Amino acid sequence: MKKQVEIATVMVAILLLSVLMVPPVMSGLGDENATSMNKTNGDSIAKHVYTNTGKTISGAIANQTNISEPELPIGVAATDDLVGKIAFASNMGGDDEIYVMDADGSNVVQLTSNTANDWCPAWSLDGKKIAFASDRDGDDEIYVMDADGSNVVQLTINTAWDVFPAWSPDGKKIAFASDRDGDDEIYVMDADGSNVVQLTINTAWDIFPAWSPDGKKIAFASDRDGDNEIYVMDADGSNVAQLTINTAWDILPAWSLDGKKIAFDSNMDGDDEIYVMDADGSNVVQLTSNTANDWYPTWSPDGKKIAFESDRDADCEIYVMDADGSNVVQLTINTAWDWCPDWCWAPTITDDLIGKIAFASDRAGVPGIFVMNADGSNVVPLTSEKGWFPAWSLDGKKIAFCSDAGISVMNANGSNVVPLTSDGGYGPAWSPDGKRIAFCSDGEIYLMNADGSNVVPLTSSTGYDEFPTWSPDGKKIAFEGGNGGDRICVMNADGSNVVQLTSDSGYCPAWSPDGKKIAFASWRNGGDEICVMNADGSDVVQLTSDSGFEPAWSPDGKKIAFDSSWDGNREICVMNADGSNVVRLTINTALDCSPDGCSSQIWDPWIYDTNENGIIERYEASIAAKDYFEKKIIMEHALEVLLLHFATQPGIGD
């Protein structure tokens, strides 16, 4: 692996593998006087690296011989909120290989195994691929493999140093650093290694690219001002802006999932520590403070944790802390060097969510209905014409959806498309017996037979009545509306006997499988949260505190799935029915699943529109949804309207 003398201590995060073993001779290093680098604890590591390459180093660090051994911190017990996977490099087998572990440090699995050095792993946003650097061909190149370590593919082939891959959020591009033009620059290429484009061109050292979650920006480190600072630029390399300005070395930027924060490594207090700042460079806060070196921050999917590497136990280990720097937990404990962690932001899917996901996408050029496995694999297009807003029948044999013609229904394999309405309509909801479909149109709720016949209006009010959902026995329909609007109401399935259940804000009702409870979303306490009440409207209990929308019960009534915006994007989460043990399932999409032919649906009253980078953005529906679905207003980019379904038992309805 080629090491760069210029970066001294700031490259310790890259060079850790060299401390416990003699690295290969690298022709790119030159003799260096390091006095001006003004480094402390990490200097002896740098000295070890440089002298083992046969080069000389003089100046302030030349007389240092030992790495300091800082006092070990007192950690806390790992908790259930440490979810997902963390990839990292380790030389526990003798040379550096890529490993993956659960976010609590358990279940460590080795992914690569060879005599080369494999390092700096980077997850694709969907969690299916890991890019990494390896010197297996004699110099460092970028490779990619499946998340289980299989199907390794070399992406770059040259005599340069290609390192630090970073995926674009849509998975189509990989940014990386390379010295192919004589100094380190930022490049981007297609995910298959083609179409390499140089983004930075100067005599400085530009490295550590990190895509913003919306795909519009790339943060990176550069010494163009004489020491290393954090910069940001547009994804095409334009509009470079400097975020940090100081005499320290600031490197390794890492965006939070909501794009509002950037964590980074800096030695501004004398040794390497983890800091965080707003995405515009303001409000810099130091998170770690000790005599050890802390590097390589990586955010948890929910933005509440930051994993990092540290030599505070005399060798390098992976740690995790709260996003404010508190509650440090050591994840790896061994005599090896465990380093360059990368936290996977992909959904953590549980065994409760099985089966198929139907969704709308314009990946074929126009909005259409697709189906895939719950893990995102085996995507199959179902429609050749425009389609969105899919809803499964309870038996899993049919899918109702919206099209230019109105509401249509088709077989679950996409065959036999039959238009049901000719004058608009949206939000179809199947009755438990599959014989009827409730839907919305012109701010009212209608009912029709499953073949589109016998359309009957169920509501007639001065407000908007929307988002019907059936009781498990099929005798009632709950909905959002009432003359005041934004209230939970219930009526008989024939539209009679309308009763308003909530006096405060309420929307998106969902009956529990036993019919005794109704979960719903509410703005009553100043923010959108999930509440639950008895089916008669009594005993309202708020379950969430970090935002929640569109609840949906699991078949056994023990879980509630819901939509949350705690990270700045809309995410699908699941929690216990009492509000405990919240687990995030998606990154920024909702789901429409029909496991094993049985489903309990949640209608998601939001429009999903993917931007030019493939990131799904979300817009409040209400009037806009009505205009979209009834007037067929096609947005500029791809529409993604999806519904979340759970497996249910026969007889349990929407």
CA separation for the pair 451, 467 (Å, rounded): 20
Residue 566 confidence (pLDDT): 65
Residues of the chain with pLDDT under 70: 1-81, 347-365, 372-378, 483-484, 555, 566-572, 584-654
Strand order in the sheet with 466-470: 466-470, 476-481, 487-492, 499-500
Residue 361 confidence (pLDDT): 59
Residue 545 confidence (pLDDT): 86
CA separation for the pair 174, 187 (Å, rounded): 8
**What dihedral angle (degrees, nearest 10) is formed by the CA atoms of 10, 15, 19, 20?**
150
**Residue of 601, 194, 542, 557 whose CA lies nearest to 357:** 601
Residue 306, strand partner residues? 299, 321
**Residue of 70, 128, 130 whose CA lies nearest to 99:** 130
CA separation for the pair 375, 387 (Å, rounded): 22
DSSP element (H, E) containing 266: strand 261-266
**Tell me: the pLDDT tens digits for 285-339?**
999 999 999 999 999 988 899 999 999 988 899 999 999 999 999 999 999 999 9
**Tell me: the pLDDT tens digits for 423-453?**
888 878 889 889 999 998 888 999 999 999 9
The pair of structure tokens assigned to 351 is 């065994």
177 in Cβ contact with 187 (< 8 Å)? yes
Residue 216 confidence (pLDDT): 93
Domains and CATH numbers, the chain: 85-343 (2.120.10.30), 356-646 (2.120.10.30)
Per the confidence metrics, is the pTM higher than 0.95?
A: no
Residue 210, strand partner residues? 219
The pair of structure tokens assigned to 362 is 């314009």
The pair of structure tokens assigned to 122 is 């980077």
CA separation for the pair 13, 316 (Å, rounded): 9
Residue environment code for 604-616, b if the CB has 16+ CB neighbours within 10 A, otherwise e: bbbbbbbbebbbb
Strand order in the sheet with 638-639: 616-620, 606-610, 638-639
Residue 415 confidence (pLDDT): 92
CA distance readout (Å), 616 to 167, 213, 588: 16, 11, 6
Residue 44 confidence (pLDDT): 31
Residue 232 confidence (pLDDT): 98
CA separation for the pair 207, 166 (Å, rounded): 11
**Tell me: the pLDDT tens digits for 204-227?**
999 999 999 889 999 999 999 888
CA separation for the pair 619, 174 (Å, rounded): 29
